[in-house]
Structure 1
Amino acid sequence: MLPLSDLLLFALAALVVVLTPGPNMIYLISRSICQGRAAGVISLFGVLAGFLVHMLAAAVGLTALFLAIPLAYEILKWAGALYLLFLAWQAVRPGARSPFEARALPADRPRKLFLMGFLTNLLNPKIAVFYLAIFPQFVSPEHGPVFLQSLVLGFTQIGVSFTVNLAIALSAAGIATWFQQRPTWLAVQRYVMGGVLAGMAAKLAAEPRQGV
């Protein structure tokens, strides 16, 4: 099975990704502020359904394919590194907004809240790149069945994301108010996240290919 050190490193990578400003975080914060915590939680369950689709797509074959073809793995590794650098630039570029600066959203029914959460995550390029470029690096046939490893990693990522996003949905109004009263910290938050993303991109680019 997966070494504990690899699983912890993967959990850390999943934590950094979920804390990175993106469509999921912006939508959940905005929905929770505009329509309340319950709406944010319902939307979060839609987001989780999107995670399951990404995870199962990886588990049923993508991971094994990318590990089996060295060129595809290298292309995805560099694509992942470049995308992380892009996210870092998006965080620190002039005029960038923090996800804690919520946008106004109209009230929606529970079914639509779930569906919008699902579609927001399903079409989220950050999550797609995570599962296509970062996820496969933690899977190796020498550690057991690839499908089982993929499920373990997938549910680890979903668990980390659910915990963080639930905390965000339940405390979105307070977080947004705190940051609005302290605009300097909005900038600090962006630069810290940009630095972490750039560091992850450098580590990803330097990572040797897993053995097969």
Structure 2
Amino acid sequence: MLTPEQFSGFLLAAMAITVAPGPDNLMVLGIGIAKGRWHGVAFGLGCALGCLTHTALAVLGVSALIAASPTAFAMLKIVGGLYLLWLGVQALRSTARVRVDGKVAGEPSLAGLFWRGMLANAINPKVGLFFISFLPQFVFAGNGSVDMQMAALGLTFTAQSVLIFGLLGFFAGTIGQWINRRPSAGRWLDRFAGAIFVGLGIRLVVST
């Protein structure tokens, strides 16, 4: 369903975006540090699997647009490209020190943290908008079903998120100390992800 170039390009971009400091991964780190590594892993896995909801919505929404109007799909790509450009500029301008302060009240169970992470991700409209903007860029018109390509890309994003968030939760203490000793590390990760956003946004707008 995905060509090697399509898969490798998407995977590299997805991993760079996932490791850049953001609400989800900083919360995973914070919970891992405050409550223990397995609590961080549970919350991280929930956040990652919440991406499946956005994958399904993106597949259904984009497919419906293509069926209804190719022009509307082209407009979606332009708007998505502009949105990615905006995200990229915001990340490039980031100067705030990375903080790891995601504390959870009480002593939630591992299952409770898992479902909390999944729900937090699944109902986040910004994540849904990101998926609708990001996935279509890696869909090749001559590579079979658009639905299947979108689904494969979404599953790939979810799988790498499971790996990265799981590792973040497991090694939360070590990673948190490393970030706190290097305040500029988060800014450089932001800039790296920002450059990817800008590049993808420009490509999406120009290629429409």
TM-score, normalised with respect to structure 1? 0.81
Contact 2:11–2:156, Cα closer than 8 Å, also in 1: yes
Moved more, 36-45 or 47-56: 47-56
Contact 2:84–2:200, Cα closer than 8 Å, also in 1: yes
- Uncovered stretches (5+) of structure 1, i.e. residues with no partner: none
- CA deviations over 1:119-143 (Å, ceiling 9, x no partner): 2211334431232122123335632
1:62 is matched with: 61
Secondary structure at the counterpart of residue 142 of structure 2: helix
CA distance 1:158–1:32, shift in 2 (3 Å): same
CA distance 1:13–1:189, shift in 2 (3 Å): closer
In the TM superposition, structure 1's runs of 4+ consecutive aligned residues that sit over 6 Å from their partners are: none
2:193 is matched with: 193
2:167 is matched with: 167
1:11 is matched with: 11
1:23 is matched with: 23
Amino acid at match of 1:116: R
Rounded to whole Å, the distance in 1 between the matches of 2:73 and 2:196 is 23
Secondary structure at the counterpart of residue 157 of structure 2: helix
1:104 is matched with: 103
Contact 2:48–2:165, Cα closer than 8 Å, also in 1: no
Secondary structure at the counterpart of residue 50 of structure 2: helix
- Residue 38 of structure 1 deviates from its aligned partner by 0.6
- Uncovered stretches (5+) of structure 2, i.e. residues with no partner: none
1:41 is matched with: 41
CA distance 1:169–1:144, shift in 2 (3 Å): same
Amino acid at match of 1:85: L
TM-score, normalised with respect to structure 2? 0.82
CA distance 1:117–1:183, shift in 2 (3 Å): same
Coordinate RMSD, CA, aligned: 2.5
CA distance 1:172–1:86, shift in 2 (3 Å): farther
Amino acid at match of 1:108: P
1:91 is matched with: 91
- Residue 113 of structure 1 deviates from its aligned partner by 0.6
- Residue 39 of structure 1 deviates from its aligned partner by 0.7
Count of paired positions: 206
